[in-house]
Amino acid sequence: MEMRLISNVEEIFVKSGAILKGHFQLTSGLHSPVYWEKFCILQSPDMTSRLCHMISTHFASQEIQVVVGPTTGGIILAYEVARQLETRGIFAEKKKGEARAFRRGFGIGLGERVLIVDDILTTGKSITEVVNLIAKEGGKVIGIGVLVDRSEQEQDFGVPLFSCLRSATPAYTPSNCPLCVAGIPLVKPKRSDT
């Protein structure tokens, strides 16, 4: 099946209801006027497949041997990008108070060429944890693909970074948050992976 060309990636997020506006506490603890609810996208196989196609096409010539995503959204993305690249897809889990790790028989072979995928990039913490885990296992990170890069400053992971959508979005420490100062109620989205 040939994928239909995506002319406006942001439109996919808007139409799905994935872009929320208000005053939100992000997973990182930072506050933001915009929250990207990636599961509005990830619940739709068609939308997810189309966005993953952008990532898999971008890295198609890189001889990727395994695609890795951090839990939870990264599980879906790793599976779909790996399916499109015709390779295997695994995920790295994090239990409260523990470092991110491969479980369930997953692992990376020495020198194996790895593509990391994730949903929303803000601080890069999850991606950095996965990069470090792959290095510990002896794998070689070839690139990183994300649905949305919302980071205010460009991130440098030492490998190429591809995002389906680049949308710099402000994020504030709680002590420096103008939304708190303005008295806008803080919303803490429910998360299943924290």
Q: Which residue from 170, 131, 124, 191 is spatially nearest to 30, judged by alpha carbons?
A: 170
This prediction's pTM: 0.87
**pLDDT digit string (tens) for 40-80?**
999 999 999 999 999 999 999 999 999 999 998 999 999 99
pLDDT of residue 151 exceeding 70, the answer is yes
Q: How many angstroms separate the CA atoms of 123 and 4, rounded? A: 31
- So what's the pLDDT on residue 189? 86
pLDDT band at 31 (very low <50, low <70, confident <90, very high): very high
- Mean pLDDT on 118-128: 93
Enumerate residues 6+ apart whose C-beta is below 8 A from 35.
19, 20, 21, 22, 24, 26, 187, 189
Q: What is the dihedral of CA 131, 120, 37, 67, to 10 degrees?
A: -50
Per-residue confidence (pLDDT) for residue 99, from 0 to 100: 85
The answer to whether residue 28 scores a pLDDT higher than 50 is yes
- Return the closest-CA partner of residue 144 out of 51, 69, 48: 69
Diameter of the chain measured on Cα atoms: 52
Tell me the per-residue pLDDT of 80-120, one tens digit each, with 9 for 90 and over. Answer: 999 999 999 999 998 888 889 899 999 999 999 999 999 99
Residue 2 has pLDDT above 70, yes or no: no
Percent over 70 (pLDDT), the chain: 94
**Strand bridging mode 161-166 / 66-70:** unpaired
pLDDT at residue 7, as a whole number: 53
For 9-181, CATH gives 3.40.50.2020
Count the neighbouring beta carbons within 10 Å of the beta carbon of residue 45. 10
